[in-house]
Chain A
Amino acid sequence: MSVDLTLIIAIGVLVACGTTLVLERSLTRILVGFVLLGNGVNLFFIVASGPPGAAPIVRDNGERMADPLPQAMALTAIVITLGVTAFGLALAYRTWQLEGHDDVQDDLEDALVIRRAERDDLSASFDEVDESLPEEEGADLPAVDDEVTDENAETADDEPHNDGAPDAGGTR
């Protein structure tokens, strides 16, 4: 099938410009790039769908129609672009309102995780296990090794008694 070179060039340039802008920090630029990318990709759909033709509206004149399926897909994409860009603009405005600029910052939480990883640390939500085993019979008896027993007895006193459920079902 013969390919329309001008359309290919249009796709290439739109996508290239869009990508360049999307890599920026300024949210306005990113959104401009996003719209450019959208236009380029929609054109791609149309080019990939085959040669041009008559509008895909059923008439009895026997004219060859353009492929309707990618058109329906691209139509959806265009409207979604509108919705997403509007949301991005609201974000840009909000950032400007709070920070005085519309630059996309690196995520602080992620930076914290990276720092934890560098320190070979655990995650913030990790519940470290304490050795709160319930008291057991015999732990307080004079066993063969006095030192060990004393330690056991002490830790046993320090720890909250493992009383399980009675209050679990109780009132607050």
Chain B
Amino acid sequence: MITLVAAHLLAAAAAPALVRLLDRRAFLVLALVPAASFAWLLPKVVAGDLVTQEISWVPGLGLDISLRLGEVSGPFSLLVTGVGALVLFYCGWYFKPGDTELWRFSAVFTAFAGAMLGLVLSDNVYVLYIFWELTTVLSYLLVGHNPERRANRRAAMNALLVTTFGGLAMLAGLVILHLTSGTPLLSEIVAAPPEATVTVQIAVALALVGAVSKSALVPFHFWLPGAMAAPTPVSAYLHAAAMVKAGIFLVAVLAPAYADLAWWRPTLATLGIVTMVIGGLRALRQYDVKLLLAYGTVSQLGFLTLIASIGTRSAAIAGLAMVVAHALFKSTLFLVVGIIDRSAGTRDLRDLSGLWRLLPWPFAAAVVAGASMAGIPPVFGFVAKEAVLASIEDLGADTGAGWGAVALGGIVVGTILTVAYTARFVWGAFATKADVPPCDIMRRSSWFVVSPVLLAAASLVAGFSGPWLTTILSRAGEAYPAGAHELELTLWHGVNLPLLLSLTTIVLGIALFVARRAVAATQHAITDRLPMPDAEQSYYAVIRGVERVSVELTGRVQRGSLPFYLGTIIVVLALLPGSMLIRAFVLDEGGLDVDLADRPAQVVIVALAVGAAIAAVRSRRRLRAVLLVGLTGYATAMLFVLHGAPDLALTQVLVETFLLVTFVLVLRRLPPFFSERPFTADRWVRIAAGVTVGTVVAGLALLTAASRIADPIGQEFAEPAVSYGGGYNIVNVTLVDIRAWDTLGELSVLVVAATGVASLIHLLTDRAERISRVPAGSGSQRWLQRLDAVRAERRSVVFEVVTRLVFHAVIVYSIFIMLIGHNEPGGGFAGGLIAGLALMVRYLVGGRQELDAAAPVDAGLVLGLGLATAALAGLLPTLLGGGVLQSAIVDIPLGPLGELHLVTSVFFDIGVYLVVIGLALDVLRSLGGGIDQHVADEDQAVGV
């Protein structure tokens, strides 16, 4: 079954290409997928086979793809695939040829069909939720198909917000159900429901909130008519046949376990009847035949929820029959509306006239489907409605509930309205109206009417196949005890209460239609006088409130001032860890064991660092501040050496040097002094903040170091570093193997930073042209070529010659440092930085041209190559039977030369090396060469 869902999603992925190839006929190919699924499912559902499938996904969370084709999901899955196939077929003629948005629509629509199928087949609550929200999101995209219209945007957003809200409530309920029952499988939860404690009841109620919102019941009903902004196939499928049935599906699945909760039936029955009546009344007032159907759908969904929630054997069967009937007739009617819309160019029943003669087939389909909707024999809607009435009649006998008659009365009122708006629809869409000029229509392909005619025929055939359908649908009833009467779906039961009620509703409904003007006037007179609570207005009020709160909150929190944000962090740091620190020192009994210094040399170095740092703060010259900060960096490197961290010291020295030059490259353009600052209170605040943070951090360092009682975990790294990582330098093995994911992430950061630097300098220049990062012109390859770019007074021949002589040796040395890193201090970072410094010296000697001569490659290429190398090196071990980023050690015999001991993480280190060189190149080309270019341009401009 997962294959079916996957096939839909694959088809969705292929849809854009298909549309490009076949234009709107691509829908015919796409329709094959649900059609094939239908063909696969049909024999299994008819035979009543229980098919289950389980695919392990995240077992730790109880999240496995458990699919189940059962008694309830069987008929639902047939509807989803069958109607889906026909609607997709219909799309092949609905859209205009060459529609530019079709590639997206076709993909989203097909994916929706797959998600919907997944929803009705899922047995695992979380998988159900995932598919549920997938349908929500895809429906959002489909409703907002034409985002340029404001009404569409709002309708899509409303549908999304309302159904997502419900979906989240449902998720909470499902999680509770999973935890209390101990199983995430719906079938198991329903088979052995957890005791109905308050918690469980809340969970069930939350799940029902999801169902009610998805199925557009009062008070969430307003999103559905709005969603009619979608193209008509979407309305026919999502908002009639499939998605809105999801809530009813959930109710039907949960009913066997929870229908006996005291509040279940009364609540859902009330909601259902209120929705049914409100929807019916609104439908009676619509001019737009599509909106009329939309309100009709709201009404019918109320009806369906009511019957699905009853939870007796006969109601379960009748409910399922009604779901099938509704899907068939409502999709037919929507598709007919689509044809009218495309043929006559309007859906306003005040402009439509005489169509029954012009569109005979759609008219016939609409009459059959309308009869089914109104419950007129011999169509399936009549059969199903009879069954519903019969099962409600037995409500008292089956459950002991005393309000069966009230429910019956509500249904009768709703059904009268249904008959009336059905009549209004058929009359409005097709009748020849005396006061309306007959419509001109555009002739459409006869294939366009195939889908609605087939669906209408299905309604008719089903009407005569009651007994056969009874055997299929009654399996869903087996979860309940046998009721007072055995239900049978058939056209003729003899004269009984349901038949009499049906006749009454038909007569009264037609009467209501005939007196429509008076009825409408009365309705308006009432709503104008009585201020009704309007769900939609309340919803907008809530949305507006949320918007206001968010503006207030953003205004308070997001001040847009860097010092403000940092200040907040500092205050929190001083208050929380700071207060705990004071407490720890106060409570401390043993006293701190403090040494002045482990190594005497430290005292001097620290004094140097402290002096330099303080001087850097006081400095008013930019350059001086930077040099002083470099000094603290070198001092830190020396402290690393003394502590036993040669790798760290090496990297620190290299980075500090590179950074120092980079600073200078930028500072040559900035004013030499920091802007004049008055000696204000602000400054003292900053200093106080600095001192506070410094004290807190120093205290924390003291406390954490003094509290250590265990041996550092790093001590354990030595053995695996050698045996698994194949290297003796534990720090390097940690970087390229033990914590290689970290390093991979870091490489990405470097790539982003380097690209950011380049874009800030090159791509956003005020001259509109894009400057390439590729060096211009390769020039002569002559060694020790004369430098023309540098003016004579700046040249130093000795510097030039020495640099060029040494450059290649340094590059070789950097590769050496990278390669030995596995066993000695060094590695990709150090090697890359050495190579970067070599390039930097070349740049300092001869500017851009010299740098391009030294590295005639695009920095972006080097960065990408490095990242790709590192990633591939991470994947390589999987080919050798290991995990991602695991080192594999390969010993390659080299004959008389001995053996090459090759560790795959060397390739990872090569990636690191390349990324660092790429960063260096980008920095030099941008902050070096790029700024040079700007200077030259400015000079030129001044010269002109």
Contacts and interface: CB of A to CB of B under 8 A. Distances in A.
Given A13-B610, A72-B734, A161-B348, A169 B753 contact: no
A18 B345 CA distance: 71
Interface in A28-58: 28-32, 35-36, 39-44, 46-58
A75 B648 contact: yes
Contacts of B523: 138
Interface string B324-362: 000000000000000001100111100000000000000
A69 B636 contact: no
Interface string A7-40: 1111111111111111111101111100110011
Interface residues of A, number: 132
Given A8-B698, A25-B563, A164 B228 contact: yes
B547 interface: yes
Contact of A163 (B157, B288, B558, B646): B288
B819 interface: no
Contact of B287 (A92, A108, A135): A135
Contacts of A19: 570, 689-690, 693-694
A2 interface: yes
A102 B670 contact: yes
A7 B602 contact: yes
A167 B148 CA distance: 11
A94 B702 CA distance: 41
B181 interface: no
A134 B286 contact: yes
B433 interface: no
Contacts of A61: none
Q: Which of A90, A101, A111 has the most CB of B within 10 A?
A: A90
A6 B560 CA distance: 39
B620 to A, nearest CB: 10
A109 B561 CA distance: 11
Contact of B598 (A51, A76, A83, A110): A51
A162 B701 contact: no
A57 B662 contact: no
A97 B229 CA distance: 50
Nearest to B643: A52
Nearest to B234: A165
B717 interface: yes
A76 B764 CA distance: 30
Contacts of B659: 35, 81-82, 85-86
A148 B234 CA distance: 37
B675 interface: yes
Contacts of A70: 712, 714
B56 to A, nearest CB: 34
A71 B694 contact: no
Contacts of A143: 521, 524-525, 528
Contact of A171 (B96, B686, B708): B96
A139 B647 contact: no
A102 B528 CA distance: 64
B760 A28 contact: no
A138 B521 contact: yes
Interface stretch (B401-409, B502-510, B801-809, B923-931): B923-931
A35 B635 CA distance: 13
B472 interface: no
Interface stretch (B40-48, B208-216, B442-450, B742-750): B742-750
Contact of B98 (A30, A117, A171): A171
Nearest to B923: A86
Nearest to A138: B520
A49 B714 contact: yes
A117 B554 CA distance: 8
B695 A16 contact: yes
A79 B750 contact: yes
A62 B598 CA distance: 20
A132 B671 CA distance: 60
B670 A39 contact: no
Contacts of B706: 1, 3
Given A1-B706, A163-B347, A164-B288, A82 B617 contact: no
Contacts of A113: 551, 554-555, 558
B791 interface: no
A52 B648 CA distance: 13
A52 B600 CA distance: 13
A145 interface: yes
Interface size class of B (residues with CB under 8 A): 35 or more
Nearest to A91: B760
Given A4-B595, A4-B602, A28 B670 contact: yes
Contacts of B271: none
Contacts of A1: 593, 705-706, 708-709
B916 A139 contact: no
A108 B731 CA distance: 45
A55 B825 contact: yes
A67 B712 contact: yes
B566 A129 contact: no
Given A67-B714, A117-B552, A136-B286, A84 B593 contact: no
Nearest to B573: A19
Contacts of A5: 594-597
Interface in B223-272: 228-235
Interface string B690-727: 11011101101110111011011111011001100000
Contact of B613 (A36, A46, A108): A36
A162 B288 contact: yes
Contacts of B629: 32, 35-36
Nearest to B708: A1
A96 B524 contact: no
B651 A75 contact: yes
B582 to A, nearest CB: 16
A36 B618 CA distance: 14
B13 interface: no
Contacts of A122: 544, 547-548, 551
A115 to B, nearest CB: 8
B432 interface: no
A41 B146 CA distance: 53
A158 interface: no
B854 interface: no
Contacts of A166: 341-342, 345-347
Contact of A44 (B234, B642, B697): B697
B475 interface: no
Interface string B575-618: 00000000000000000111111110011001001100110110
B417 to A, nearest CB: 14
B648 A74 contact: yes
Interface string B511-527: 00000110111111100
Interface string B623-658: 001100100110110011011111110011001001
Nearest to B633: A39
A28 B625 contact: yes
A42 B829 CA distance: 17
A171 B596 contact: no
Given A1-B705, A4-B602, A165-B290, A56 B731 contact: yes
Q: Which of A5, A70, A170 has the most CB of B within 10 A?
A: A5
A22 to B, nearest CB: 6
Given A72-B739, A171-B100, A86 B757 contact: yes
A23 B686 contact: yes
Interface string B297-340: 00000000000000000000000000000000000000000000
Contacts of A10: 606, 609-610, 635-636, 639
A14 B609 contact: yes
B525 A145 contact: yes
Given A2-B595, A46-B643, A90-B761, 13 more contacts: A4-B596, A12-B701, A18-B613, A48-B701, A55-B825, A72-B734, A79-B829, A111-B560, A117-B552, A122-B548, A134-B286, A134-B287, A166-B341
6 contacts: A7-B602, A20-B687, A79-B746, A164-B347, A166-B341, A166-B346
Question: Ordered nearest first, which 7 A-B pairs have the shortest CB separation?
Answer: A16-B694, A110-B560, A117-B555, A138-B520, A12-B698, A107-B560, A20-B690
